[in-house]
Amino acid sequence: MAERFPGYDVLAKRHTPSWNEQTRRVIDQRLAVPREPRFLTADEFATLVAVADRITPQRKDRPPIPVAALVDDKLQRNRQDGYRAADMPPAREAWQRGLRALDEEAREAHGGAFRELDTAAQDALLTRMQAGELRDAAWDGMPSKSFFMQRLLPDIVHAYWSHPTAWSEMGWGGPASPRGYVRMGYDERDPWEAAAVRNGDIVAAYRKNRRVG
């Protein structure tokens, strides 16, 4: 599939008026997240990697976004959402319990941990989780559907789209600070925003995106 924003790299904005020092610091911290688990166990982390691969499958032509590492980093820092559903434990406990329960469900249904299954079996288990059909004792009262909707899905999706690689993929320039946006009308773009391919003209979009800053 052809890129919609060819040649665009949001990190090229690092030393331009588009980003201030606070923005650069936050993005640098995100890029420096360790790839090894710091909160989850090795087995829990490996299962999370397998789950993330099914929820946010990635392109093979660029370095992968470390989705599992970003979720683990959130848990390591114990960053809260400011709210949680009444039938859900705190995020750390929910993730540990949910990953362990998913592995137990996988062993019961297929004879191996979730990460050891083929993708069809993994997708089937995640579909059953989404429907609330997983009820192994390992869930310990936490509804599998609530875990899927309140923790697994939002945490993984938010982690993916919080990464600069994903921003480049969708043509987003990151936080608009301090420059901001001026051209707010429909189908208008500021000169420092990414240009999408129009009428199949990849070269024109590429040239514009190499000058974005």
The amino acid at residue 212 is V
Instruction: Find all residues with CB under 8 Å of 25, minimum gap 6, and list them.
Output: none
Angle between helices 42-55 and 91-110 (to 10 degrees): 80
- Quote the pLDDT of residue 146: 98
- Do 51 and 72 touch, CB atoms closer than 8 A? no
pLDDT tens per residue, range 106-153: 999 999 999 999 999 999 999 999 999 999 999 999 999 999 999 999
The amino acid at residue 148 is F
- Do 80 and 28 touch, CB atoms closer than 8 A? no
Pull the structure tokens for residue 57: 């499958």
If you average pLDDT over residues 71-90, what whole number do you get? Answer: 95
Partners of 19 in the beta sheet?
Answer: 177
Q: Is the dihedral of CA 46, 163, 169, 155 positive or negative?
A: positive
Q: Give pTM, 2 decimals.
A: 0.91
**pLDDT above 90 for 174:** no
- Quote the pLDDT of residue 90: 97
Partners of 112 in the beta sheet?
Answer: none
Q: Domain coordinates of the chain in residue numbers?
A: 1-18+173-213, 20-171
Pull the structure tokens for residue 11: 């990190």
**pLDDT above 90 for 190:** no
If you average pLDDT over residues 48-60, what whole number do you get? Answer: 96
